[in-house]
Amino acid sequence: MIGDLFDTIEEPEVNIVKLSDGTTILHKYAYRDSADLMQELSKLLKISPFRNMVTAGGHIINVAMTNCGNLGWVSDRQGYRYSPIDPLTGTHWPKMPLAYKNLAILAAQQSGFKDFAPTVCLINKYLPGSKLSLHQDKNESTFNAPIVSVSLGILASFLLGGQSRSDKVSRIALTHGDVMVWGGPDRLRYHGVAPIKDGYHPQTGECRINLTFRQT
Ligand code: MD3
Ligand code: FE
C-alpha cells in the first residue's frame, strides 16, 4: 500500500565518518534515542537545574550548565574543577542515566575506543547568541580516554582547531542526534562553538543541548 509509506516516520541514516586518527563524527547516531535522552534530562533537571556559572575572573558563562554522574564540572571565583557535589544543592549530582552511559560507550566503541567508562556527563544549554570560545579540555586526570559529545536540538557550527591556538580552524555543522568522539592524538585539540543562530526543534524548543561524556 502506498499509504503505508506516508504513515512511516522517517529516521535518518546513521553515517560514521572518521575525520582524522582521533576524531570521528557519527551523524544521527543519537537520533533514535533522543526522546529518551530528553526525558531523562527533564528528570535530572529537577535535581540539578541548569545554572550560569562564573569564571575565576568573575564573568558569567553564557552557556547554562549542569551535570550528572559521579563528578561534575564546576566553575566559580576559585577556578574550575571536577566536584562530586553540586554547589547549588550541596548534594551529589544526579546519577548518570543508563541510556546516557550506554550511548556514550557504544559511540566510543564505534570510534575505536574499547574501554571507555564515562564518569562525568556535563550538560550544556545554548540559547541563540550563546557561544563557546576556542579552548582545550585539559582538566581530566587521564588523556587516554576519549571524549564523547552528543548534540540535541538546534544547529551549531562546531569549531575544530589544532594542537596550538593559532592553527587553522574548520567548521562542522552539528544537528539533532549527531555524536562526535575525540581521543588519542586529537584529545588536546582546540575547539569551540560559534554563536548559535535562532532556530526551533520540536524536542528542545529554541535551544541546543550538548551532552559531553568524560572519564576522569
Ligand atoms: C575536540 N563542549 O564543554 S564537547 C566543553 O558543544 C565543550 O558544548 C562542546 O567543548 C559543546 O568543554 C562539546 C566538544 C569537545 C570536547 C573535547 C575535545 C571537543 C573536543 C577535545 C579535543 C578536541
Ligand atoms: Fe571543551
Is the distance from the beta carbon of residue 208 to the nearest atom of ligand 1 less than 6 Å? Answer: no
Q: Can you spell out the DSSP letters for 105-145?
A: HHHHHHTT-TT----EEEEEEE-TT--EEEE----SS-SSS
What pTM did the predictor assign? 0.94
Residue ranges covered by each domain of the chain: 15-214
Could you list the pLDDT tens digit for every one of the 216 residues in the chain?
A: 555 666 677 889 999 999 998 999 999 999 999 999 999 999 999 999 999 999 999 999 999 999 999 999 999 999 999 999 999 999 999 999 999 999 999 999 999 999 999 999 999 999 999 999 999 988 766 677 999 999 999 999 999 999 999 999 999 999 999 999 999 888 889 999 999 999 999 999 999 999 999 998
Ligand nearest to the CA of 182: 1
Q: So what's the pLDDT on residue 10?
A: 80
Under 8 Å between Cβ of 37 and 27: no
Ligand nearest to the CA of 188: 1
Under 8 Å between Cβ of 35 and 176: no
In a 3-state reduction of DSSP, which class is residue 186? Answer: helix
Q: Which CATH class is domain 15-214?
A: mainly beta
Is the distance from the beta carbon of residue 172 to the nearest atom of ligand 1 less than 6 Å? Answer: no
**Closest to 150 in 3D by CA, of 68, 95, 84:** 68
